[in-house]
Amino acid sequence: MQGIKDFIPTQEKTRYINALLKVGFDTLDFGSFVSPKAIPQLSDSKSVLSGLHLASSTSLLAIVANLRGAIDALGLEEISYLGFPLSLSETFQQRNTKKSIDQAFIEIKDIQEKVLQKNRTLVVYLSMGFGNPYGDPYQEAYIHEFVHKLATLDISIISLADTIGIAQPAEIHKQLQALITTFPDIEIGAHLHVTPNSAKPKIKAMLDAGCSRIDGAIGGYGGCPMATDVLTGNLNTLDIIKHLNDDDLTVDIEALENARQLSQEIFTKYF
């Protein structure tokens, strides 16, 4: 929802997220505690949270970009995970959070200390994880340097992200498999933005690499407004599910269909 200019009413967001909570996902990225000037669409995340029915086993994740936002999120017991956007690209780090990479690492260290005190979990997203369109350094050794540095801070979940949809299946497989092999104590995930016709080989590449933490959005809606002027949609959750064996599924298919219909209703109205 973050890239949609027309403000989606809080009750609409709450209705949709409550539908998602019935599906049985492991984790649900429900909102953000960042500057309302930066992402006005998500300025009502605290109000959305107060209207959620949290009886399901799904854990909630909220995005933060600094210590102040993290402290706000940690004050809400319903939130299990905090997600922080760290970029392999100096250009995009400045564009996304108005910080340098070095400053972002200091922020992560401070946030992680607070997170551990509260018995929560910090998830770090490594954006531009499969290529860099800005001409900044990008190579496998550089990625591993970042992950190693995060490992020294006891970060236990790191998700490699392709924010603008340039990742190729071979690169996805190579980088994920290398990280999963090299850092067995860290849960390595993937967060891809894709065009609809490129999804299938990319999902296969992730699964073949042994990746079991994959982010998606029903209908493939979304995109990062800080990356480019043209939004590249998220990986469609339904496409991910199609590639899984029935034995691996823990979702309620009927609830999933209800959420799909509701997503179509809301997103076609405001997108």
The mean pLDDT of the chain is: 91
Look at residue 228 and tell me whether its pLDDT is greater than 50: no
User: DSSP readout, 191-249?
Assistant: EEB--GGGHHHHHHHHHHTT--EE--BGGG----TTT-SSPPPBPBHHHHHHTS-GGG-
pLDDT at 71 over 90: yes
Q: Cα separations (Å) of 178 from 63, 149, 208, 235? A: 26, 16, 12, 22
> Which tokens hold the place of 42?
């998500």
6-34 pLDDT per residue, tens: 999 999 999 999 999 999 999 999 999 99
Q: What is the pLDDT of residues 185-223, one digit of tens each?
A: 999 999 998 887 889 999 999 999 999 999 999 988 876
Domain boundaries, the chain: 10-270
User: How high is the pLDDT of residue 57?
Assistant: 87
Question: How far is the C-alpha of 5 from the C-alpha of 41, rounded, in Å?
Answer: 7
Rounded to 5 degrees, what are φ and ψ at 111? -65, -45
The pLDDT tens digits of the residues spanning 109-120 come to: 999 999 999 999
Residue 224: pLDDT band (50, 70, 90) is: low
Query: In 3-state terms, what secondary structure has residue 116?
Result: helix
Amino acid residing at 60: L
CATH number for region 10-270: 3.20.20.70
Is the predicted pLDDT of residue 78 greater than 90, yes or no?
Answer: yes
Q: What is the pLDDT of residues 149-186, one digit of tens each?
A: 999 999 999 999 997 788 999 999 999 999 999 999 99
HSE value, Cβ hemisphere, 13 Å, CA-based, for 217 = 23
The predicted structure's pLDDT at residue 229: 39
Q: What 3-state class would DSSP assign to 23?
A: coil
Angle between helices 169-182 and 140-151 (to 10 degrees): 40
Whether the pLDDT of residue 85 is over 90: the answer is yes
**125-157: pLDDT as tens digits:** 999 888 877 778 788 899 999 999 999 999 999
Four-CA torsion 248, 251, 257, 260, nearest 10 degrees: -90
- Torsion angle in degrees (nearest 10) through CA of 150, 169, 128, 220: -110
**271 vs 147 pLDDT, higher one:** 147
